[in-house]
Every structure is written in structure tokens, then in C-alpha cells.
Amino acid sequence: MQCVILAGGLGTRLGALTNARPKALVPIHGKPFVDYQLALLARQGVMHVVFCIGHLGEQIVAHVGAGTRFGLAVSYVEDGPRLRGTAGALRRALEVGLLADAFFVLYGDSFLPITYAPVFDSFRGGGWAALMTIMRNEGRWDRSNVIYQPPRIALYDKECDDVVRARMTHIDYGLSVLSRALVETAIPPEATSDLADLFHRLSLADKLGAYEVSERFYEVGSQVGIAAFANYVAASRR
């Protein structure tokens, strides 16, 4: 299995903590966050990781290298002088020949402690253009953004009005599966585009599958998130 990690963000919410380093290298109990992330992926059977890097991405390259100490093969794609968005980063990975036929997509500040293989199998067996993991949210973690009608996502929308939002019970968990063919046909070259827009269009076209999970997600994109993940790591060591 292959996982593309979108790690080109600026980390502006973290202020001075990411002025001189990318979010992937934020220290958690003395170890860069990316070490936890890659160790989890290796345990879940991922063999190849593609980092889409931008802001201070050379530091990720220097730290992770070829990935051998994590039991992974790691490649890198640079965003270039112009930010092209999360979907545009996948298009660049396609253009340089790094995408597998089907692959996971994960954000560079996310730690998602679920079993990955069933998610991949669900995509393979469902005939979807893409598959998104979702979690029942009910407003607990952030604003819900999914209308879930098993086995599909009837609507994914981060910008909807309050009337539509009231019908949403689930939230995007942060792990998706896409195909290389979808990237080639649905993400235009050279354009700046966001995965959220692509997922919105796929949901309207009845082409976005869903895989529901119950484990909470962790992230290091905010101070609150860093504290929660640090607590999780500490508890896991007991």
C-alpha cells in the first residue's frame, strides 16, 4: 500500500513553533511528530510514502531521508514556487510518476490510529471514484461536514449554510483513498485546487464512498491538538 502525505502547509496557527520548522517536525516528548506518523504507517502495512512538501520541506527530507529506518520507502515531491493546493500537490505527484494505481491520502499533521487495510479493501471493492473515512461527530471536534447515507457520502461540504449543516452528523476523519486515474481526469494540470472541492463534487455525483470509524483522531496543527496527542503518547507508554 502507498500513502501520500500532504505536508506543504505553513503551520500559521502554531506561531513561533513553526517559524523555523515544518509541522511534521514539531517535537512530541522529544521526538518529531513525523516519527510517530511513519511508525504507525509501517505497522499498518504501508510500504511506500510520498511526501508532498512545501514550506521548510527540506527539513523533512533531511530528517526522514529514504525512510529505511522506519521500514518504508519514502519519496518527495516539491510544491514548487507557487502553492497549488492539496489537490494540486497530488497532480504534481502524478506528473513525476510517483502515484500508485490506488493510494491513501493523509495530512502531514494527522495521526489516525485505525486499521488501514480494511479501508483500502473497502475502496477496492466498492467501485467508488474515491473513499473518505468519516466519524460520527455531532459537533464534538469541529463543525460536521458530511451527510452520511451508507455506504456513500450524500454530501461533503465545508461551506454550507446552517440549514444544511443541521443535517450533518459526521466529519471527515482525515484518511482517504483515491486512484491515480481520478487524479489524472479530475485535477487539472497547473491549476491551484483543493481536495475539499474535489470531494464536494464527487459527493454530488454519488461517487464518494464512506468508511465509518469510531477511534478519535489526533493532530498537531494547533496547541490544543499537540497537547492531546502528547497525552495520547504518554498514555500509550504505560
Going from N- to C-terminal start, the domains of the chain cover 2-236
Residue 17 has pLDDT above 90, yes or no: no
Give the HSE-up count for residue 104: Cα atoms under 13 Å, Cβ half-sphere: 29
Q: What percent of the chain has pLDDT over 90?
A: 79
Residue 133 has pLDDT above 80, yes or no: yes
Residue 188 has pLDDT above 60, yes or no: yes
Amino acid 152 reads: R
Residue 171 has pLDDT above 80, yes or no: yes
Q: State pLDDT tens for residues 140-151.
A: 778 899 999 999
Architecture of domain 2-236 in this structure: Alpha-Beta Complex (3.90)
Mean pLDDT for the chain overall? 93
Output the pLDDT for position 82: 73
Taking the C-alpha atoms of residue 174 and residue 3, their distance in angstroms, rounded to an integer, is 12
Taking the C-alpha atoms of residue 35 and residue 82, their distance in angstroms, rounded to an integer, is 28
Residues 191-217: what's their mean pLDDT? 95
pTM: 0.94
Residues 66-73: what's their mean pLDDT? 97
Residues 190-195: what's their mean pLDDT? 89
pLDDT band at 11 (very low <50, low <70, confident <90, very high): low
- Run of H or E residues at 159: none
Q: Identify whether the C-beta of residue 24 lies closer than 8 Å to the C-beta of residue 108.
A: yes
Residues 209-238: what's their mean pLDDT? 92
pLDDT band at 81 (very low <50, low <70, confident <90, very high): low
Taking the C-alpha atoms of residue 236 and residue 238, their distance in angstroms, rounded to an integer, is 6
Q: Identify whether the C-beta of residue 52 lies closer than 8 Å to the C-beta of residue 92.
A: yes
Output the pLDDT for position 10: 64
Could you count the other beta carbons within 10 Å of the beta carbon of residue 46? 23
Residue 191 has pLDDT above 70, yes or no: yes
